[in-house]
Amino acid sequence: MIGAVLFFVSFLTAGGLFLRNAQACSVCFGQTQQSTQVGLRIAIIAMLLVLLGVLSGIVAFFFQLRKKSKLNNRGILTFAK
């Protein structure tokens, strides 16, 4: 079973290395139109903004946990039992 998987992976790798069409599209080769470049830049910026929002939310969550932990250690914050 492992031999078949290794053969399949090596076959795909070799095919990807030797086929010129499988290596990259025209965008990666630099033969793009101006509108394509603008669209790609906008898409990348949008994805970075989404990533920034998600990471900011995660950081804010951990700061909130830290704040509540400090209040709980001081006895100010109590939880209902």
Query: CB atoms < 10 A from the CB of 68, how many?
Result: 13
- The structure tokens 């001081």 sit at 74
- Pick from 47, 27, 46, 45: nearest CA to 36: 27
How high is the pLDDT of residue 58? 96
State the Cα–Cα distance between residues 19 and 30, nearest whole angstrom.
Answer: 19
How high is the pLDDT of residue 56? 96
| pLDDT tier at 75, thresholds 50, 70, 90 | confident
Q: Is the dihedral of CA 25, 30, 36, 37 positive or negative?
A: positive
Once rounded to an integer, what is the mean pLDDT over residues 53-68? Answer: 94
* pLDDT higher at 76 or 1: 76
At 18-41, the pLDDT tens digits run 665 555 666 666 666 778 778 888
State the Cα–Cα distance between residues 39 and 6, nearest whole angstrom.
Answer: 39
